Amino acid sequence: MNDSKIIDLFFERSEQAITELSEKYFEICHRIAFNILGNEADAQECVNDAFLGIWNSIPPENPESLSAYVFKIVRNVSLKKNRSNTALKRNSRYDTALDEIEGCLPSGFSVEAEINAEVLSAEINAFLASIGRDNRIIFIKRYWFGEEISAIAEDLNITKHNVTVKLSRTRKALKKHLIEKGFDI
């Protein structure tokens, strides 16, 4: 079923909307949550919580892109659970990915902060649109979906070293881009 029909089901308050959403997006939602949390039970809980949140938010929300809307909610619920699970300790797999990219973000910006997030988000999106497809895929897999370097390498049939080099170069290019756009890094 296409996304617009699923959204229509939400507006009709049909429970079939959750069934269709789950059939279409559960696997990738679970992977997003698991990559952040590294725990099967927590990942399942977060996907369920996200689906409930989607049920409660559509309507009145009418997302332009259902997949982006769903993935963002799953990611945010998972990040919140990760913060709760790792309070006072920095040991999650996802924290490693966040530590890698932290040097490319403006000073005074914490991952949790949302001050000027829309402007920063637009600049990061513009940057990603300007780089090659392979580098963009690697960057998004690592920093949005939280995938392990070894999993990215295996998925793209390249070496782990190649992935780390591409990520390093992309982070440097992102930092340069943001500095040119007036962000204090």
**pLDDT computed for residue 115 by the predictor:** 45
How large a percentage of the chain has pLDDT more than 90?
54
pLDDT digits (tens, 9 = 90+) for 10-55: 999 999 999 999 999 999 999 999 988 888 999 999 999 999 999 9
Crossing angle for the helix pair 16-37 and 40-57, nearest 10 degrees? Answer: 140
pLDDT at 68 over 70: yes
This prediction's pTM: 0.64
Residue with structure tokens 């089901």?
Answer: 9
Coil, strand or helix at 110: coil
Identify the structural domains of the chain with CATH numbers, from first to last: 3-85 (1.10.1740.10), 93-180 (1.10.10.10)
Answer yes or no: are the C-beta atoms of 100 and 171 closer than 8 Å. yes
Answer yes or no: are the C-beta atoms of 50 and 87 closer than 8 Å. no
Answer yes or no: are the C-beta atoms of 26 and 50 closer than 8 Å. no
